[in-house]
Amino acid sequence: MTAQSGNNFENTFSFRNTALFRPLYLNFDHYTDGDPDFKRELGTQVIGNVQELRQSIYAAVQENEPDIFLKASHKIKFTLEMLNDVEFITLIRELERDLGTPHIDGSFAQHVRRFDDICQAIINSLNIEIFGKVA
């Protein structure tokens, strides 16, 4: 990974907000026994964890410090297991592996953008599932 600064960083890793929704593989009833209050509490925590992971990739790249993302992904390991989204988990593992290595061809930036899209889609879908609307 090369250190990015200023507008170059923002241009390379800008948020696109192209993702709308994503199928959820999380079975809330399995974890909440159908309790709507606990579902809201758990869902809010899952959203927060995904948001934290999403922010950590940008911080890790900008600060040239892979451990930021590695620690965040480890911290939310149970959330990732609950989400059970194979593409998302695979992409996270690829980002963990590729952080800290140079990517001249732009593949890393493409992975980061795809990761960002998936994070936003998961957040949107969770908000619909839990609150009936996108926040």
Domain boundaries, the chain: 35-131
| Length of the chain counted residue by residue | 135
Question: pLDDT tens across 80-124, in order?
Answer: 999 999 999 999 999 999 997 876 677 888 999 999 999 999 999
For the whole model, what pTM was predicted? 0.83
Least Cα distance to 63 among 9, 11, 115 occurs for 9
Question: pLDDT tens across 43-86, in order?
Answer: 999 999 999 999 999 999 999 899 999 999 999 999 999 999 99
Least Cα distance to 57 among 67, 42, 43, 44 occurs for 67
Least Cα distance to 121 among 6, 23, 12 occurs for 23
